Amino acid sequence: MPTAVWTGTLSFGLVAIPVRLIPATEPKDVRFHLYDREGRRVRQRRVVDEAAVDAPEPEQGEAQPAEGPPREVGPPRDVAAARVERPVAWEDLMRGHETEEGDVVLVTHEEIERVRPQRSHSIDIEDFVALEDIDPVQFDKTYVAVPQAAEATRPYVLLHRAMREASRVGVGRFVLRTKPHLVAVRPMHQVLAVETLFFGDEVRDPSDLAPGLEEVEVDQRELELAVRLIEELTTEWDPAAYSDEYREELLRMLAEKTPTARPEEAEAARQPPPVTELMAALKESVEASRKGKRRSG
């Protein structure tokens, strides 16, 4: 059984159904990490890019140091453009929001935590609406709500069949992790699906993206011919008929390649054991040495 991302109750009226939320989809994208040409993992660092103020340009005829790092980073003969990268500790990081004017407003982790919503323990259905009234553009991610225990099965099935009978879906809100969500609860096959929705102000107005389309006139004969073509191409929806050909080709290519030896694994094998293991080994060695001395004495 996949891991639940949330547990709580699904409530409508005075009925509360204990449920678990499980993602309805399983992305199968091929994931890559960055490596160098010898197979060593490339890591990311948190750094600040700042001007190098202590890197004066050498005067005419002055030699650069024979050893050690160069004193200047960046384009030669341009001290102002020289840059250095300074690592930043995690506790020194702050969140920054860039305004429309280009200014940056900094906030601390503590300030964000003060306004962050608390985790919800219930999805409260506030309204019931017709599914066709919700434009598909508002759907974000689909979860499946399943009963937590046997005693929750009957009210769960009751809500499922009642919504299917009434041709309605429930609209409610809850907080998943730290983000508030608007959701639509709908019957899907034998289970209840919970669809997270974009809020109204998150959906762009199509008329702003392509103005003037309503003024375009269409010839009636062209319209009838286009409708006839659509009818000729109409078929039953079968999700299995559409596959990710790029991912399949990528997996075939990876299966044909010989894995690269990873140098860091050999290096890790030569590393000393952790301190805790080392201390245990030392104590055991001391005890064995004492016992040996007592026997020889």
**Which domains occur in the chain, in start order?**
6-25+116-202 (2.40.290.10)
DSSP type of residue 44: P
Burial status of residue 19 (CB atoms within 10 A of its CB: 0-12, 13-18, 19 or more): buried
Is the pLDDT reported for residue 57 higher than 70? no
For the chain, the helix, strand and coil percentages under 3-state DSSP, each to the nearest 5? 35, 25, 40
pLDDT in tens, 180-234: 999 999 999 999 999 999 999 999 998 899 998 889 999 999 999 999 999 999 9
Report the alpha-carbon distance of residue 73 to residue 85 in Å, rounded.
9
Query: Does 123 or 70 have the greater pLDDT score?
Result: 123
Is the pLDDT reported for residue 59 higher than 60? no
Q: Kindly indicate the confidence band of residue 284, based on its pLDDT and cuts at 50, 70 and 90.
A: confident
Q: Which residues fall within 8 angstroms of residue 215, CB to CB, at 6 or more apart?
A: none
Percent of the chain with pLDDT over 70: 78
Amino acid at 26: E
Report the alpha-carbon distance of residue 25 to residue 31 in Å, rounded.
17
Range scoring the smallest mean pLDDT among 25-34, 196-205, 269-278: 269-278
pLDDT in tens, 65-89: 444 444 444 455 554 456 778 888 8
Range scoring the smallest mean pLDDT among 55-59, 78-82, 244-248: 55-59
pTM of the full structure: 0.69
Q: Where are the alpha helices (DSSP H) in the chain?
A: 109-115, 153-166, 206-209, 220-233, 245-256, 263-269, 275-296
Amino acid at 13: G
Give the pLDDT score at 230: 94
Report the alpha-carbon distance of residue 49 to residue 274 in Å, rounded.
35
